[in-house]
């Protein structure tokens, strides 16, 4: 086996291993939590694995209407399979044909024909182009002369997929030599524009005449009769065929591997985002549930001294519940350490806890008075209790939010350190709104 071919095999094997690993990692996620809706992404991963096993290379032709996309693909296959014609918009939907080049039994090639990029409606066009381009391993961008701004924009759009791209200059039979040379120069210079060179890995321009215009020729028969006949010149497409096969032989299987990896990466990023979104919603619900319970428990608990240990236990329970949700279970020790870090890195949390004690004292005193039969004592107790409950609940809310961010980042504070991160998170919380909501909740439970 040549060194090139060994390298290609290595790339294929790496891609297979990487996709299998992703599947092994994400399949159980879906089983655990069907709400995750990551089925489409998992299907992409499965599809990529199959594609690698089948060794099918996809080549897609793009371009504006009537540039000869269908004709170029027919020319490659050597048969007129795809309809072509002078009316704009002959091809309305992507369509694919198999191409088995002579002497190339190892790879199978699927050629994908697409409608003109300026034919179908804007949104649909962009979606179609994105979808087909993402599937393709190699892109042919077909032009038929100097390019328009729309054509350049389309080219730039396709270049952003980072797929190898061959610029196909079709209909060269229509131009006299000097024009041909000038247009070719312009097209080549185009590929050297900075924004394109940065995006394109392959910058090749190939001239073809996929379906040369028939010429009327004058035929003089031996008996002197003169007839006019249409003469069909043979397509000039050999150079493109050769270029494609060269790219495929050189790096075909590596292209397959690379493309599968790019798609896997994109699917993984979407899975990560979806997991994060679902976790975020669940975490918000969990934090609010603990916040509310803590606020209510502290508001109705008559013994102030129990507020502090009770509050800490509630905070720790919240930290542990969140860590389970994010699949990063913390031990009791770790949870306590995190809680202490939160408490000491945030002045307002400590103040909140102190306020709980002070207000709690008042609450205990009021309860004692209240128990001796003084109704005024009871009514004095209630606003203090509500405030104390709300402040304690707000503390739990802060603990919850900070823990959520900490877990979301995989149990790290990032390079900023706990104090800065905690401070930033606390600044984003709207304390007034949360305290107000908590007071409302406590009030509606008490009365
Ligand atoms: N002179 C000349 N005409 C060509 C050549 N290739 C294609 N054509 C003609 O250009 C017209 C459009 O060709 P198609 O292959 O249908 O073009 P397309 O880009 O697929 O067009 P849509 O599907 O409508 O977007 C047809 O009339 C072809 O005969 C060529 O090399 N030379
Ligand atoms: Mg067509």
- Tens of pLDDT, residue by residue over 207-217, are 999 999 988 88
Burial class of residue 43 in the structure, from the number of CB atoms within 10 Å of its CB (0-12 exposed, 13-18 middle, 19+ buried): exposed
- Nearest residue (by CA) to ligand 1, atom 6, is 211
Residue 364: pLDDT band with limits 50, 70, 90? low
- 90 CA from centroid of ligand 1 (Å): 9
Q: Ligand 1 pocket, 90 CB below 6 A?
A: yes
pLDDT digits (tens, 9 = 90+) for 382-417: 567 788 788 888 888 999 999 998 888 878 887 777
Reported as a pLDDT band with limits 50, 70 and 90, residue 429 is confident
Q: Rounded to whole angstroms, how far apart are CA atoms 178 and 186?
A: 13
- Can you tell me which atom of ligand 1 is nearest the CA of 67? 19
- CA-proximal residue: ligand 1, atom 5 (nearest): 211
Identify the pLDDT of residue 311.
Answer: 74
- For the CA of 116, the nearest atom of ligand 1: 25
Compute, in angstroms, the gap from residue 74 CA to the centroid of ligand 2.
Answer: 10
Candidate of 63, 65, 68 to mutate for ligand 1, largest count of ligand atoms within 8 Å of Cβ = 68
55: its two tokens: 């060794």
Judge contact between 393 and 292, C-beta under 8 A.
Answer: yes
Q: Which atom of ligand 1 is nearest to the CA of 170?
A: 31
Q: Which CA distances in Å does 427 have to 58, 210, 422? A: 51, 65, 9
Q: Please tell me the distance between residue 136's alpha carbon and the centre of ligand 1 in angstroms.
A: 22
Give the model's pLDDT for residue 174.
Answer: 95
Residue bearing the CA closest to ligand 1, atom 9: 68
Nearest CA to ligand 1 atom 28: 85
Q: Are 117 and 64 in contact (CB under 8 A)?
A: yes
Give ion ligand 2 contacts, CB < 5 A. Answer: 70, 90-91
In this prediction, residue 373 has a pLDDT band, given cuts at 50, 70 and 90, of very low
- Which segment of 125-129, 265-269, 405-409 scores lowest on mean pLDDT? 125-129
66 Cβ closer than 6 Å to some ligand 1 atom: yes
Ligand 1 atom at minimum distance from 87 CA: 24
Q: How far is CA 19 from each of CA 12, 166, 318, 420, 437, rounded to the nearest angstrom?
A: 11, 28, 36, 38, 47
Q: Measured from the CA of 63, which atom of ligand 1 is nearest?
A: 19
CB 161 less than 6 A from any atom of ligand 1: no
Q: CB–CB of 322/287 below 8 Å?
A: yes
What pLDDT score was predicted for residue 376? Answer: 46
Q: What angle do CA 244, 246, 198 make, to 5 degrees?
A: 75
Ligand with an atom nearest the CA of residue 62: 1
What residues does each domain of the chain span?
55-236, 273-446
The pLDDT of residue 362 is above 80: no
Q: What is the pLDDT of residue 193?
A: 79
Please state, in angstroms and rounded to a whole number, the distance separating the CA atoms of residues 23 and 50. 13
Ligand 1: distance of its center to the CA of 54 in Å? 32
| Mean pLDDT along residues 91-116 | 86
Q: Report d(CA 423, CA 434) in Å as an integer.
A: 17
Would you say domain 55-236 falls under CATH 3.40.50.1820? Answer: no
pLDDT (tens digit, 9 = 90+) per residue, 245-262? Answer: 888 877 777 888 888 888
- Give me ligand 1 centre to Cα 70, in Å: 7
Distance CA 396, CA 402 (A): 10
Which residue's structure tokens are 């001239």? 207
Ligand closest to the CA atom of residue 125: 1
Q: How far, in Å, CA of 275 to CA of 42, rounded?
A: 13
How confident is the model over 90-106, as a mean pLDDT? 84
């Amino acid at each position: 086996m040549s060194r090139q071919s060994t390298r290609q095999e290595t790339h294929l094997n790496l891609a297979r291993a990487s996709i299998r690993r992703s599947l092994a990692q994400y399949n159980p996620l879906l089983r655990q939590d069907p709400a995750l809706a990551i089925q489409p992404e998992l299907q992409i991963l499965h599809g990529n694995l199959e594609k690698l096993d089948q060794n099918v290379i996809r080549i897609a032709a793009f371009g504006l209407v009537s540039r000869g996309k269908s004709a170029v693909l027919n020319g490659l296959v050597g048969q007129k399979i795809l309809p072509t014609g002078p009316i704009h918009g002959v091809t309305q939907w992507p369509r694919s044909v198999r191409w088995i080049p002579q002497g190339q039994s190892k790879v199978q090639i699927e050629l994908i024909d697409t409608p003109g990029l300026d034919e179908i409606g804007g949104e649909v066009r962009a979606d179609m182009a994105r979808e087909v381009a993402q599937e393709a391993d190699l892109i042919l961008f077909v032009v038929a002369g100097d390019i328009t701004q729309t054509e350049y924009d389309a080219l730039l759009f396709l270049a952003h997929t980072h797929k190898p791209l061959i610029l196909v200059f079709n209909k060269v039979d229509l131009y006299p030599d000097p024009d041909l040379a000038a247009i070719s120069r312009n097209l080549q210079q185009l590929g050297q524009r900075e924004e394109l060179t940065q995006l394109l890995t392959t910058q090749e321009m190939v001239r073809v005449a996929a379906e040369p215009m028939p010429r009327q020729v004058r035929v003089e028969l031996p008996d002197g009769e003169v007839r006019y006949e249409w003469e069909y010149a043979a397509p000039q497409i050999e150079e493109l065929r050769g270029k494609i096969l060269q790219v495929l032989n050189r790096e075909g299987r590596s292209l397959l591997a690379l493309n599968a990896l790019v798609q896997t990466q994109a699917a993984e990023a979407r899975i990560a985002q979806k997991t994060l979104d679902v976790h975020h919603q669940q975490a918000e619900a969990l934090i609010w549930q603990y916040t509310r319970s803590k606020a209510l428990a502290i508001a109705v608990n008559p013994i102030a001294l129990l507020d502090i240990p009770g509050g800490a236990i509630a905070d720790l329970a919240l930290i542990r519940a969140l860590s389970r949700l994010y699949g990063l279970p913390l031990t009791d020790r770790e949870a306590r350490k995190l809680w202490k870090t939160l408490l000491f890195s945030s002045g307002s949390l400590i103040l909140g806890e102190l306020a709980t004690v002070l207000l709690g004292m008042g609450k205990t005193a009021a309860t004692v008075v209240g128990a001796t039969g003084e109704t005024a004592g009871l009514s004095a107790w209630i606003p203090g209790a509500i405030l104390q409950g709300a402040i304690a609940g707000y503390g739990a809310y802060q603990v919850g939010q900070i823990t959520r961010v900490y877990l979301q980042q995989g149990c790290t504070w990032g390079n900023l350190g706990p104090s800065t991160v905690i401070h930033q998170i606390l600044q984003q919380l709207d304390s007034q709104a949360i305290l107000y909501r908590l007071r409302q909740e406590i009030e509606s439970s008490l009365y």
